[in-house]
Amino acid sequence: MTQFDPRFPDATDAAPHAIVIGAGLGGLASAMRLGAKGYRVTVIDKLDRCGGRGSSITQNGHRFDLGPTIVTVPQVYEKLWAACGRNFHDDVTLKPLHPFYEVRWPDGTKFKAMQDTDEMEAEVAKIAPSDVKGYRRFLKDSERRYQVGFEGMVAKPMHKAWETIKVLPLFGMLRADRSILGLAKARVKNDKLRMALSFHPLFIGGDPRNVTSMYALVAYLEKTYGVHYAMGGVQAIADAMANVVKDQGGILRMQTQVDEILVQQGRCTGVRLVNGEVLEASVVVSNADAGHTYTHLLRDHKRKRWTDAKLDKKRWSMGLFVWYFGTKGTAEKWPDLGHHTIINGPRYEGLLKDIFIKGKLCEDMSLYVHRPSLTDPSVAPEGDDTFYVLSPVPHLGHDNGVDWEEMRETYRQRVAAVLEDHMPGFEQHLSASMSFTPEDFRDRYLSPNGSGFSLEPRILQSAWFRPHNVSEEVKGLFLAGAGTHPGAGVPGVVSSAEVLAQMVPDAAPVQVPAE
């Protein structure tokens, strides 16, 4: 095969050129799919290593996964690798977790999530024996929503209104108009269990009080496929994806930023980089946030649907405050704190309203604590620990926006005060520390409003109502990642590449001239 020279992307003796903007998991999956279809692929990313929000930073021997931390649907990776003629498990090692995670409340109540149904019913019974029957009904609700919402929609193109319209009767039957919290309230009476059954959409940027009950499917996913950790972190998955792209002949250009998508006569012709360099291409896939793609990368192109005004009216997911820290000599300390822990504050619904609707940064908080060093010794020096603590906070688009320059350290101290109850004396052992605020998400990931997960996954911002995988604004432009169908979360962004692969034509066979 002719070696690809990026200076001459449309050379007649080479396969068509495709550019992927962004080396996040959705962009890398798209590059793999395009490479398998015969394209010469160039992936461009502003960061110094691949993975996007799934990348990592190492400080004082501690490796911090910056974003997603778990693997919940291994088959999306298996299908992706298989499309490239490879075996995912040859490249990435997954370790199942037991329990999946533990949920804690201020009064000392604890709830462990596990794969075995009998064990889960025992956990429910410890909190509210009368809710076991309702929990069983919730599991049935979850399975049916999985069949319709995941199997039926996730990997299918939804850019035609009819694809959404034809599932509306099923959505009506399943009460998709009811929120996930509303469904939990209909099934169990205990407030703690209602939280434990409804909080999952927070990990894709959704307010459980408003996102559709279709997201109850997560319970079925966990029960059926388990929860896994990728040894080496999600960065290991991103690195493995990048290696497949390179093996296909693709090129990754890191620390390089796209400034504009070029359009001629309504068709995408390539990109212009921040340094002024122009790269031509037959196909462009943007793994940048859909909002950034339309408002910045296509800023000089007239848009019919995704105008600045329309995007400004959309509801964006909440922001995140994430504190990454390491502790020295603590591998044997805090033995009851597992790999994944959810620490609830005194409020649930009130806190959600403050974060998503009022845009208010509160004194109280709920936290997700990730302690990967229990499972993966490579994340910390021997005998030490690596932690990642996440607090949902308002995004930057609210009228009463938070000044994170001023609040970063103050809020970190508030987080530390909550953690002290679960990790006594931990600050005496700190050996590494850094934090991300919504302003970092805005600047590092070019995320509109510094949101953690792009558009909030409400029912009227999902499927056809979400930015499409094939752009209706420009021919030859496709979208992947959290801001397009099927949405945020690692299974969603990886599946977005499967969707666009169904719409991007196969590359024409290369004509090799006779010697």
pLDDT at 96: 96
Residue with tokens 């950034």: 292
Structural domain includes residue 72: yes
Same-domain pairing of 60 and 177: no
Structural domain includes residue 511: no
pLDDT at 168: 58
Structural domain includes residue 162: yes
> Rounded to the nearest 10 degrees, how much is the dihedral formed by the CA atoms of 187, 193, 199, 201?
-20
CB distance 229 to 70 below 8 Å: yes
CB distance 365 to 313 below 8 Å: no
**Residue 166 vs residues 161, 208, 307, 391: alpha-carbon distances, Å:** 9, 25, 27, 38
Residue with tokens 């099934």: 187
pLDDT at 59: 97
Structure tokens at 511: 């004509």
- Supply angle C-alpha 119, 121, 122, rounded to 5: 65
Same-domain pairing of 485 and 433: no
Find the farthest-apart pair of alpha carbons in the chain and give their distance in angstroms, rounded.
79
Sign of CA dihedral 141, 145, 151, 152: positive
Structural domain includes residue 515: no
* Cα 246 from Cα 381, distance rounded (Å): 31
- Supply angle C-alpha 462, 466, 470, rounded to 5: 130
Structural domain includes residue 4: no
CB distance 503 to 285 below 8 Å: no
Same-domain pairing of 103 and 202: yes
* Cα 233 from Cα 188, distance rounded (Å): 35
CATH code at 437? 3.30.519
Number of domains forming the structure of the chain: 3
Residue with tokens 């798209």: 30
Same-domain pairing of 153 and 168: yes
User: Strands 319-327, 430-436: parallel, antiparallel or unpaired by DSSP?
Assistant: antiparallel
Sign of CA dihedral 347, 352, 357, 359: positive
Which H/E stretch holds residue 65? strand 62-65
Query: What's the predicted TM-score (pTM) here?
Result: 0.92
Structure tokens at 134: 């309702």
* Cα 167 from Cα 153, distance rounded (Å): 9
Structural domain includes residue 10: no
Residue-level pLDDT, tens digit, the chain, 515 residues: 233 344 334 444 478 999 999 999 999 999 999 999 999 999 999 999 999 999 999 999 999 999 999 999 999 999 999 999 999 999 999 999 999 999 999 999 999 999 999 999 999 999 999 999 999 999 999 998 888 766 656 556 656 664 666 565 566 666 778 899 999 999 999 999 999 999 999 999 999 999 988 888 999 999 999 999 999 999 999 999 999 999 999 999 999 999 999 999 999 999 999 999 999 999 999 999 999 999 999 999 999 999 999 999 999 999 999 999 999 999 999 999 999 999 999 999 999 999 999 999 999 999 999 999 999 999 999 999 999 999 999 999 998 889 999 999 999 999 999 999 999 999 999 999 999 999 999 999 999 999 999 999 887 887 777 899 999 999 999 999 999 988 888 999 999 999 999 999 888 654 444 44
Same-domain pairing of 354 and 383: yes
Closest of 475, 490, 472, 506 to residue 157, by C-alpha: 472
* Cα 256 from Cα 23, distance rounded (Å): 11
Closest of 106, 67, 104, 190 to residue 364, by C-alpha: 106
* Cα 391 from Cα 358, distance rounded (Å): 16
Helix, strand or coil, per DSSP, at residue 153: coil
Q: How many CB atoms lie within 10 A of CB 381?
A: 18
CB distance 268 to 301 below 8 Å: no
Among 445, 472, 493, identify where a domain stops: 445
Q: How many CB atoms lie within 10 A of CB 140?
A: 11
Q: How many CB atoms lie within 10 A of CB 394?
A: 24
Closest of 507, 506, 499 to residue 470, by C-alpha: 499
Residue 199 belongs to domain spanning: 98-226
Closest of 415, 404, 475 to residue 440, by C-alpha: 404
* Cα 214 from Cα 55, distance rounded (Å): 29
CATH code at 263? 3.50.50.60
Structure tokens at 90: 């040859």
Helix, strand or coil, per DSSP, at residue 479: strand
What is the identity of the amino acid at 473? E
* Cα 342 from Cα 202, distance rounded (Å): 12
What is the identity of the amino acid at 373? S
Structural domain includes residue 7: no
CB distance 466 to 291 below 8 Å: no
Among 445, 465, 491, identify where a domain stops: 445
Same-domain pairing of 403 and 343: yes
Same-domain pairing of 280 and 370: no
Structural domain includes residue 12: no
What is the identity of the amino acid at 229? Y
Same-domain pairing of 329 and 424: yes
Same-domain pairing of 183 and 250: no
Same-domain pairing of 338 and 424: yes
**Gap between the terminal Cα atoms of the chain:** 14
Same-domain pairing of 102 and 90: no
Give the chain's radius of gyration (CA, Å): 23
Among 407, 423, 445, identify where a domain stops: 445
Same-domain pairing of 59 and 203: no
CB distance 318 to 395 below 8 Å: yes
pLDDT at 514: 45
